[in-house]
A and B are shown apart, each in its own frame.
Chain A
Amino acid sequence: MNDNRSVKEKNLELKPSPEKVKIAAFLCKWCSYAGADLAGGSRKKYPPNVIVIRTSCSARTNPLFVWKSLEKGLDGVLVSGCHPGECHYSEGNYHTRRNFAVFRKLLEYIGIEPERFHMSWVSAAEGDKWAQVVKEVVKTVESAGPNTYFSKKKEDNA
């Protein structure tokens, strides 16, 4: 992000309270995003820690986006798509399932707490399931605490 614009910036920093975990949710626009909308429509309340990034299909969510989010400091990542067989592109979520079945093993193997990465199938009609998924994910990520993978130790460049 190009920082030199901040001279002009009138940034009334509303510092988010540090211990509030921040989670990115990659939602496929056909099912999960619509399910989240339905949760809104039916006024289902759920914690505000999850911010949605809309993708064309859950298969577009490259597992390396998930790593990039964790590397840049997010506390948790959720990837959600259509139920198998209901994908608008018919096969997208099958590929998502395989990609992340492998990638999550890699994440765990190098030492990322499993509580940080979640996947779910939420269809366009499952508003309350979306609210439920968010509640569970936020609780689990909070149990893992804030992401300190790269912030604790100052990188030495001797």
Chain B
Amino acid sequence: MLEQLRKKAKELLKNKEVEVIIGYQKSNNNSFTTPCFIESEDGVDRLTWDEHCVYNLSLYLKEVKGKVGIVAKGCDVKSIVALMQENQIDRDRIKIIALECQAQVDQEGQILEKCRTCQVHIPGMYDELVRSKTSPSKIESKESDKEYSVLEELEAKSTPERWQFWQRQFEKCIRCYACRQVCPLCYCSECISEKTAPQWILPSPSLKGNTTWNIVRAFHLAGRCIDCGECERVCPVNIPLRRLNKKMEKEIQTMFNYVPGLDSKKKPPLVDFRVDDPQEFIR
């Protein structure tokens, strides 16, 4: 697969279809895989592809100007679709080199939770597709592979227990905003957390400020988050952020039968409505 990727990348650069390609590379002396920006043909050899390419490169699309090539997994493509839905990128300046991806692993080599329930091993949208020759080795499925099993444990708890659990988590937050900066859908030039008139969110990492910040973030991603899992990966204090977004995803799917990142023509759920939307909770 790697040679195909490099060949395609070289082609794109050669006939000037793109000015830069955002991809993955092994950083030279240590074993880390990191994002990279290739601008010349012979730089293409730095491109790599393995199960450590966890980064969602679509977060760079808004900053990098001009014609851009991007190496993308299935989940990354979903976030590109979501960005198109919200007029943040125009499709024809982007060339997507999509890769069939079985699963990515975390630092300890465990398969990421999101990959267990992934339905886009073959990405939904692309300009070039790189398929893997070998038949995909079946990941041994665990019973916890049902789509929203990650939520069951917390949903089973009582309300006060849930409040204790989340207060415990939000207390750890140091407000480094890595969860916001890494998220491709958090593209606002001035985030609501920076607003002083009115001050929606207390700026210091107090319990009250942290709780409000995490609630605002979860609500602002409701119906938009495509579960690339980056926020949870980068959180230095290991707050289970994915569980917040996954809960929103689950509720929106059950109520409005909408899954984000699949159709760039569709209106995101919270700016759309149907006359027969559920309203059993309204007196």
Contacts and interface: CB of A to CB of B under 8 A. Distances in A.
Contact of A101 (B164, B166, B208, B277): B277
B112 interface: no
Contacts of A100: 281
Interface string A72-96: 0000000000001100000100110
Contact of A150 (B200, B207, B252, B256): B207
A11 interface: no
Contact of B164 (A64, A94, A111, A136): A111
B163 A112 contact: yes
A1 B207 CA distance: 21
B247 A105 contact: yes
Contact of B273 (A91, A112, A114, A153): A91
Contacts of B277: 94, 97-98, 101
Interface in A113-138: 113-114, 118-121, 133, 136
A105 B251 CA distance: 7
Interface string B207-229: 11001100110110011000000
Nearest to A120: B283
Contacts of A102: 219, 222-223, 248, 251-252, 255, 269-270
A143 interface: no
Contacts of B208: 71, 150, 155
Contact of B206 (A104, A111, A114, A157): A157
B69 to A, nearest CB: 36
Nearest to B269: A98
Given A97-B282, A102-B255, A119-B283, A110 B215 contact: yes
B118 to A, nearest CB: 23
B279 A67 contact: no
A40 interface: no
A99 interface: yes
Contacts of B281: 100-101, 104, 119
B109 interface: no
A67 B215 CA distance: 9
Contacts of B270: 95, 98-99, 102
Q: Which of A104, A106, A108, A110 gathers the greatest number of chain B CB atoms within 10 Å?
A: A110
Interface residues of A, number: 38
B219 A103 contact: yes
A112 to B, nearest CB: 7
A18 to B, nearest CB: 21
B29 interface: no
A103 B220 CA distance: 10
B273 A111 contact: no
A63 interface: yes
Contacts of B131: none
A136 B252 CA distance: 28
B160 A106 contact: no
Contact of B283 (A85, A94, A108, A121): A121
Contacts of B165: 111
B278 interface: yes
A101 B154 CA distance: 20
Contacts of B256: 98
Interface string B263-283: 000000111111101110111
Given A111-B166, A119-B283, A106 B207 contact: no
A97 B223 contact: no
B14 interface: no
Nearest to A85: B275
A121 to B, nearest CB: 6
A24 B208 CA distance: 20
A68 interface: yes
A67 B212 contact: yes
B166 A155 contact: no
Q: Which 8 A-B pairs have the closest CB atoms?
A: A111-B163, A94-B273, A111-B162, A120-B283, A105-B251, A119-B282, A110-B166, A155-B207
13 contacts: A67-B215, A68-B212, A91-B273, A98-B272, A100-B281, A102-B248, A102-B252, A103-B219, A105-B247, A105-B248, A109-B244, A118-B283, A136-B283
